[in-house]
Amino acid sequence: MGPIAEQPPAEPAGPVALTSRTPHVPAERLVAEMVPPPRFATVSFDNYIPDPKQPSQATAVKELAAFAGSVSGGQGAAEGRRRSWFRRESRPAAPRGPRGMYLDGGYGVGKTHLLASLWHATAAPAERKAFGTFVELTNLVGALGFQQTVQTLSGHRLLCIDEFELDDPGDTVLVSTLLGKLVDAGVALAATSNTLPGKLGEGRFAAADFLREIQGLSAHFRTLRIDGEDYRHRGLPEAPAPYPDETVTRVAHRTPGASLDAFPALLEHLSRVHPSRYGAMCDGIHAVCLTGVEPVPDQSTALRLVVLADRLYDREVPVLASGVPFDRLFSEEMLQGGYRKKYFRAISRLTALARDGKRLAE
C-alpha cells in the first residue's frame, strides 16, 4: 500500500479573527517584500492621470521619469568598487547636489503611485531596488541591525521610502546616518511625505535640537511639490454609513476569506503585535469586518491603527464596519496635533476601503 497523501488543512467554517493571529516574520521576508505592494504592482507613469487643474502633477511625472533614466543609466557603486580592484584609476567624483527626489504633497494626490512608478521605471533587477514605508525601513534596521542593513542596501541602485515621517529623536539620528551611508555608496533615494524635508519632526519632538540631522536629511533630496485634492474623493460619493452589527456579522460569515473582529478587541490586540507584522497578520484576508467601531482612546492606539490602515490599503482589502463612521475615529485634538497628517491619511484610506466594502453588503 502506497503512502497516504497528506491532506490539506480544512478550511475554517466561518470567518477568522485578526485577534487570533500573532505572526512571526523572519528578517529575510522583510527584505524580500521591499517591493511595491499589490495595489501598486502594475502602476506606471502612463497610467497616472494628472489633474489638469494642477500642473505640478504633470511636472512631477516628467521630473521623475527623467530621474528614473538617470538612475538606470548610472553605474552602481558595487561595479565601481570591483573595477578599482583590478586597475588603478581615479574614482569618479560623487554627483553634486541632491541624490534623491522628495515628493511633498497632501494625502491622496498620487504620491505613492508616482513613487511606485519610479521603482518600476528604473531599469535595474528587482533585487537591486527597494521599496517600503518609512516604518518598514526602521523595522528592517531593527531586524537586521544597522551595519547589516547598510551592507544589504548599499548594493542597490534605488531606495524608495513611502510615507517618510520622523516621530521621535531616535529615528531622526538613525535614518540620517543610514541614508548618508547609502548615498555615499551610490544609492539613489526617493521619498514621499506630507511634510517638507526641513520641517520633519515639527510638532512631534524638539526638532530644533536635532537640526543638524534634519538638515542633513534635507540635503539628500530635491523637493517636488505635488498639489491637488485627494483623488479618492474626487467626484465620488461620501463613504457609506456604518452598518448594523447583524449585517456585518452576516456578511463576514458568507464571504470567503473574511475576518470578523470587535473593534475594541482588535485595538487591544494591535498593542501586542509589532507593527512590522501587521502585513503578515493580513495574509490571506480578503475582507475585514469590524463591529463596534468607536473613537480611538489615545495617541499610541491611533498610530497603530494608522499602520494597519496602510497595510489594508496596500493590499486592497475592503472593510465593512458597524459603529461610528471612520471620519470620527480621531479626536479633534489628534486632528490638530503633530500627527494630524497621518490621521487624515488613515481616514482617507479607510473611507476608500469602506466604499469597496459596500458591495459585500449588497
* Angle between helical axes of 263-270 and 299-314 (0-180°, round to 10): 100
Among candidate residues 226, 257, 292, the one where a domain is terminated: 226
Q: What pLDDT shows up at residue 243? A: 97
- Provide the domain limits for residue 329: 235-359
Same domain, 52 and 156: yes
- Same domain, yes or no, for 205 and 264? no
Query: What is the average pLDDT across 225-251?
Result: 79
The three cell numbers of residue 177 are 546616518
Residue 220 is predicted with a pLDDT of 79
218 shares a domain with 317 = no
SS3 of 21, please?
A: coil
Among the residue ranges 205-214, 215-224, 290-299, 342-351, the one predicted with the least confidence is: 205-214
> Is 21 part of any domain?
no
Q: Is the pLDDT of residue 148 over 60?
A: yes
* Three-state secondary structure call for residue 49: coil
> Is 79 a member of any domain?
no
102 membership: H or E segment, kind and range = strand 100-104
> Domain for residue 284, yes or no?
yes
Residue labelled with grid coordinates 471620519: 327
pLDDT, greater one: 280 or 176? 280
Distance of CA 128 to the CA centre of its chain: 19
Lookup result for grid cell 482612546? 297
C-alpha cell at 231: 483623488
Q: How far is CA 54 from CA 63, 225, 227, in A?
A: 15, 11, 6
pLDDT band at 81 (very low <50, low <70, confident <90, very high): very low
The answer to whether residue 304 sits within a structural domain is yes
Instruction: Report residue 230's pLDDT band, with 50, 70 and 90 as the boundaries.
Output: low
pLDDT at 274: 87
Decide if pLDDT at 232 tops 80.
Answer: no
Residue 13 lies in a domain: no
Residue 205 lies in a domain: yes
**Residue 325 lies inside a defined structural domain of this protein:** yes
Q: Do residue 216 and residue 301 come from a single domain?
A: no
Q: Is residue 68 a contact partner of residue 114, using CB atoms and an 8 Å limit?
A: no
Say yes or no: 244 and 218 in one domain. Answer: no
**Averaged pLDDT for residues 58-73:** 92
Lookup: cell for 64: 521623475
296-318: average pLDDT: 94
Per-chain mean pLDDT for the chain? 82
- pLDDT band at 163; cut points 50, 70, 90: confident
Average pLDDT over residues 300-310: 94
Q: How many domains does the chain have?
A: 2
Residue that finishes a domain, picked among 201, 226, 251: 226
Examine the domain organization and report whether 210 and 282 are in the same domain.
Answer: no
Question: Residue 83 contacts by C-beta under 8 Å, 6 or more apart in sequence?
Answer: 89
Q: Are residues 67 and 206 in the same domain?
A: yes
Could you give the C-alpha distances from 340 to 194, 257, 297, 298, 313, in angstroms and in order? 10, 33, 15, 13, 19
One domain for residues 51 and 188? yes
pLDDT at 87: 40
| End-of-domain residue from the set 226, 257, 289 | 226
> Which DSSP string do the residues of 172-207 spell out, in sequence order?
HHHHHHHHHHHHHTT-EEEEEESS-GGGTTTTTS-G
Phi, psi of 321 (to 5 degrees): -145, 155
- Residue 87 falls within a domain, yes or no? no
Domain shared by 243 and 355, yes or no: yes
Q: Who has greater pLDDT, 231 or 249? A: 249
Q: What whole-number percentage of the chain has pLDDT above 90?
A: 54
pLDDT at 92: 39
